[in-house]
Structure 1
Amino acid sequence: VGARKRFGQGGPRRIKFTLVPMVVRALELAERVHEEEEGGGERAGTISAKKVFGFTLETIKGLASAEPVMALRLFLQASLIANKCGEDKIAYELVSQAFILYEDEVSDSKIQMELVLEAAGTLFLLNNLDPEDYDTLITNTTKHAARLLKKPDQCRAVYTCSHLFWNAGVKYEDGRTFQDGKRVLDCLQRSLKIADVCMQSSNNVNLFIEILDRYLYYYEAGNEKVTVKYIQGLLDLVNEHLSTMEAGQELDNLRGHYNATLAHIRRKKEGGDERFSELTV
């Protein structure tokens, strides 16, 4: 604590070089202390992992005023370590602090997109969170995804967030997994609407193909809300748009991606997977 106070006096130019290593070492210490606590080592009881995480949280807050994006990423990193140590409430608080920083300090649209995707990736791995806490955080992440400045970014971020609602790693006390097919479909349908808006200003057929890939993923994963009707509709939509495009490198690139998707569907049909028998490709 004394070292943090001393380093904090170095001013905004220096603390990004002094506090960041301190956070990293504190997280390493938290893991070691947790292992001692679990194994009943000689040093168990002299210091707790919770106290180390508390120190870490306050240190990151000290960095936030000078380097908010770096602090946000450290909050996310620290939440992964807290989750690993079984400290679910601390992990929740760390992610919550990251969102506060995002809302108050981050205005660059490119960085916003990066951070939303990083937050989604982090949350997917927080398998020790209480399902209700997890639900709160992923709902917040999805809202931020839908508010990104650029429509293509919105589209990609929202369909990425759909994976948060289909997470077998997060479990309820009765053993049920956190897999909400309806909310997955809501994300996919929302991203599809955004992609449709994108088509009004420029050619973004690639978004439809990317969304198609997600529909196929959930269909194969057993999400009953994602049906053949949606997939066939997307196939027809992509075919329609590709048929109106002029020949060139862009069309070749799109067809390369789309043909790979079609080849996957054909393999499933030829392999006897009855779920794909109704699809026309």
Structure 2
Amino acid sequence: QDSKAQITALHLIIGTLQRMNIFGVENRDTLTHKTTGYSAKLLKKPDQCRAVYACSHLFWTDDQDGIMDGERVLLCLKRALRIANAAQQMANVSKGSSGSVILFIEILNKYLYFFEKGIPQITNTVIQDLIELIRTEKQNDSSASDPSAEAFFASTLRYIEFQKQKGGSIGEKYEQIKAS
């Protein structure tokens, strides 16, 4: 019960920090670092992963102040991937426990979001590597495949194909990504 309250509180803090611009650079920096740190200390790995990738939004905002720190966004996403990988390893060790491929797919969607925002550190190569990682994890997952994860991944790949077909600058960005 307490861990659910912590998760809710962290997500509220992340959302609030994302929209507030009254702190000044130093104070905001301290608050975002503390929030990211606490996110990585949640009890369960999937909760840690989701909170850490949510923190990536603290480093890239579309408001008038425009915090645009692509390096820190990428650090959050990489950290979330490491946590998802640790969750996957733990699931592989404990039999009957389903893998966390879904976490990788959620992170892929965050990468796509920031890719479209034009963060230079999020390249089509990084996205392609993540797609391949998910495919490998799905093959290595000894448990029966998760239909919701399958549907989520298929939907994400369809989205990539849809973006390619749009043409123009968006289509061009996505052209190098092989989703099918």
How high is the TM-score relative to the length of structure 2? 0.87
2:35 counterpart of 1:141 = yes
Aligned position for 1:253: 148
CA contact (8 A) 1:128 1:170 kept: no
Letter in 2 for 1:201: M
Deviation at 1:120, TM superposition (A): 0.5
Task: Indicate the residue corresponding to 1:188 in structure 2.
Answer: 77
Tell me which residue corresponds to 1:154.
Answer: 48
Q: Where does residue 277 of structure 1 map in the other structure?
A: 175
What's the CA shift for 1:220? 0.5
Number of equivalent positions: 169
Divergent runs of 4+, >6 A:
none
- Structure ID, larger Rg: 1
Separation in 1, partners of 2:77, 2:140 = 25
Look up the match of 1:8. Answer: none
C-alpha distance in structure 2 between counterparts of 1:242 and 1:257, whole Å: 13
Say if 1:125 and 1:170 are closer, same or farther in 2 by CA, change over 3 A. same
SS of 2:61's equivalent in the other structure is strand
Secondary structure at the counterpart of residue 168 of structure 1: coil
Distance in 2 (alpha carbons) for counterparts of 1:197 and 1:246: 16
- CA 1:147 to 1:245, structure 2 compared with 1: closer, same or farther past 3 Å? closer
State the superposition RMSD in angstroms: 1.8
Is structure 2 residue 41 aligned with structure 1 residue 128?
A: no
Q: Displacement of 1:247 after TM fit?
A: 8.2
Q: Distance in 2 between matches of 1:245 and 1:161?
A: 28
Q: Which amino acid aligns with 2:32?
A: I
Classify 1:247/1:138 alpha carbon distance in 2 versus 1 (closer, same or farther; 3 Å): closer
Q: Within 2, Cα distance between the matches of 1:204 and 1:137?
A: 29
Asked if the contact 1:131/1:170 (under 8 Å) is kept, the reply is no
Q: CA 1:170–1:133 in 2, change beyond 3 Å: closer, same or farther?
A: farther
1:144-163 per-residue CA deviation (whole Å, 9 max, x = no partner) reads 10111211111110000000
Higher relative contact order (CA 8 A, sep 6+): 2
SS in 1 for 2:146: helix
Separation of aligned partners in 2, 1:198 and 1:161: 19
Q: Is 1:166 aligned to 2:55, yes or no?
A: no
> Normalising to structure 1: TM-score of the pair?
0.57
Map 1:1-281; keep pairs closer than 5 Å.
Answer: 108-169=2-63, 171=65, 177-202=66-91, 203-245=99-141, 251-272=146-167, 273-281=171-179
Alpha-carbon offset, residue 129 of structure 1? 3.2
Whole-angstrom CA distance in 1 between matches of 2:48 and 2:21:
26
Distance 2:147 2:140 in 1: 13
Which deviates further from its counterpart, 210-219 or 131-140?
131-140
Code of the aligned partner of 1:119: I
Using the aligned pairs only, state the percent identity.
Answer: 40
